[in-house]
């Protein structure tokens, strides 16, 4: 690009024909045609580039007058006019290999990890089994003695289920097996994979991850996956399991087991 107002103009007719079409009412357009033919000596289908500032000064026109006259000639089919570039142009001064660019990839990686941690915190909030008000306050560095605000969805749900019955012997055994399986999977998987392991699923993914080697693999194989899934989901919110199963998340729900000294 040679200038901010550079344009391209092509003469579409024989100069003699264009001279015959001059109109007294088209003074500015006529002057531009005369300049193209007599000064620039353009012939039919010949093109040239010009700076609108310089062309306007030669014709004693303002840039807007020159631009309107060129557009009128273009609309009349007498010339082909390509307007100058009006944006902010950029020019590559030196081409160098991408690996030589002064880019701090370590800083970009740190920023990416920081943003991912914030995203994980937001998802953790969505799956949180603790008081949501407490979760937010602790996120911003405030401490709260009360474990319940008695107002958020988690606290209200907990309040509605305070009267649940204690587990019977069979349910207690199932609960222990679920907790044992979650602990051995080390918080790396969600509810679906826990159920797969408990019921002894033949899914290929279990072998790839080495989950078929766990001692809890198939420990509840006499139960269907549906029968096992419900107890697992119930135990996530069970009063007797508070402090034993914790839900965290990245892009999906992950289970971790914590054992209290009882």
Mean pLDDT, residues 118-136: 87
Of 91-100, 137-146, 210-219, 251-260, give the lowest mean pLDDT range.
Answer: 251-260
Cα angle at 209 between 207 and 215, to 5 degrees? 75
Contact in structure between 214 and 181 (CB atoms under 8 Å): yes
The closest alpha carbon to 155, from 168, 136, 171, belongs to: 136
Within 8 A by CB and 6+ apart from 128, the residues are 135, 154, 247
Structure tokens at 135: 């979760």
The closest alpha carbon to 46, from 8, 18, 96, 83, belongs to: 8
pLDDT of residue 262: 39
The DSSP output letter for 212 is G
Q: Residue 117 and residue 33: Cα distance in Å, rounded?
A: 66
Q: Provide the whole-model pTM.
A: 0.35
Burial of 170 (0-12, 13-18, 19+ CB in 10 A): exposed
User: Where do we find the tokens 């080697």?
Assistant: 213
Structure tokens at 244: 């034993």
The more confident residue out of 74 and 190 is 74
Q: Residue 57 and residue 48: Cα distance in Å, rounded?
A: 18
pLDDT category at 248 given cuts 50, 70, 90 is low
Structure tokens at 76: 């009349």
CATH fold of 167-262: Arc Repressor Mutant, subunit A (1.10.10)
pLDDT category at 138 given cuts 50, 70, 90 is confident
The closest alpha carbon to 216, from 236, 201, 237, 233, belongs to: 201
pLDDT of residue 251: 41
Contact in structure between 24 and 112 (CB atoms under 8 Å): no
Question: Is CATH 1.10.10 the classification given to domain 6-82?
Answer: yes
pLDDT of residue 26: 59
* pLDDT tens profile 29-47: 888 888 888 888 888 888 8
Q: Residue 67 and residue 226: Cα distance in Å, rounded?
A: 75
Same fold, 6-82 and 167-262: yes
Kindly list the distances between the CA atom of residue 83 and the CA atoms of 49, 51, 126, 193, in Å, as whole numbers in the listed order.
Answer: 10, 10, 55, 63
* pLDDT tens profile 56-91: 888 889 989 998 889 988 888 889 998 877 666 677
Contact in structure between 52 and 84 (CB atoms under 8 Å): yes
User: What does the domain layout of the chain look like in residue ranges?
Assistant: 6-82, 105-163, 167-262
Q: Residue 151 and residue 165: Cα distance in Å, rounded?
A: 24
């Amino acid at each position: 690009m040679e200038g901010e107002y550079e344009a391209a103009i092509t003469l579409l007719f024989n100069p003699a024909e264009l001279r015959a079409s001059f109109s007294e009412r088209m003074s500015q357009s006529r002057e531009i045609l005369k300049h193209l033919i007599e000064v620039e000596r353009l012939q039919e289908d010949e093109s040239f580039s010009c700076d609108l500032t310089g062309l306007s000064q030669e014709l004693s026109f303002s840039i807007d007058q020159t631009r309107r006259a060129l557009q009128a000639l273009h609309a009349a089919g007498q010339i082909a006019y390509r307007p100058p570039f009006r944006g902010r142009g950029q020019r590559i001064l030196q081409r160098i290999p991408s690996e030589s660019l002064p880019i701090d990839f370590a800083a970009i990686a740190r920023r990416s990890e920081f943003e991912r941690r914030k995203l994980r915190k937001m998802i953790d909030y969505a799956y949180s089994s603790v008081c949501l008000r407490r979760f937010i306050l602790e996120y911003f560095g405030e401490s709260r003695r009360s474990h319940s605000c008695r107002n958020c969805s988690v606290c209200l749900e907990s309040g509605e289920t305070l009267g649940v019955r204690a587990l019977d012997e069979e349910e207690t055994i199932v609960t222990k097996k679920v907790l044992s399986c979650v602990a051995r999977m080390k918080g790396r998987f969600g509810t679906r994979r826990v159920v797969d392991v408990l019921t002894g699923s033949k899914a290929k993914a279990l072998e790839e991850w080495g989950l078929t080697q766990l001692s809890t693999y198939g420990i509840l194989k006499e139960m269907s996956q549906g029968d096992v899934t419900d107890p697992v989901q119930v135990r996530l919110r069970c009063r007797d399991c508070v402090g034993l199963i914790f839900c965290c998340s990245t892009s999906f729900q992950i289970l971790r087991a914590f054992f209290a000294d009882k």
